[in-house]
Amino acid sequence: MKQNKRAAVFPGSFDPFTLGHMDVLQSALKLFDKIYVAVGYNHLKRGFLSPQTRVRLIQDAVRPLMDNGADIEVLSYTGLTVSLCREKETDFIIRGLRTTTDFELESVIAQANREMQPETVTVFIPASHAYSFISSTVVRDVIINGGDASPFLPSNIDIKDYIQSKI
Known catalytic residue: 54? no
**Active-site residue, selected from the candidate residues 34, 98, 114, 166:** 98
Answer yes or no: 129 catalytic: no
What is the rounded distance in angstroms from the CA atom of residue 76 to the CA atom of residue 27?
21
Is the Cα dihedral 135, 16, 72, 80 positive or negative?
Answer: positive
User: What is the radius of gyration, based on Cα positions, of the chain?
Assistant: 16
136 has catalytic annotation:
yes
Task: Spot the catalytic one: 13, 54, 95, 136.
Answer: 136
Which residue out of 21, 54, 95, 140 is catalytically annotated?
A: 21
Alpha helices in 88-145 (DSSP H): 100-116, 136-144
Annotated active-site residue 95? The verdict is no
Task: Please give the helix or strand (H or E) that residue 28 lies within, else none.
Answer: helix 19-28
Which residue among the candidates 45, 46, 129, 165 is catalytic per the annotation? 45
Q: 18 CB contacts (<8 Å, ≥6 apart)?
A: 131, 134, 135, 136, 139, 152, 153
**Catalytic residue set:** 21, 45, 98, 136
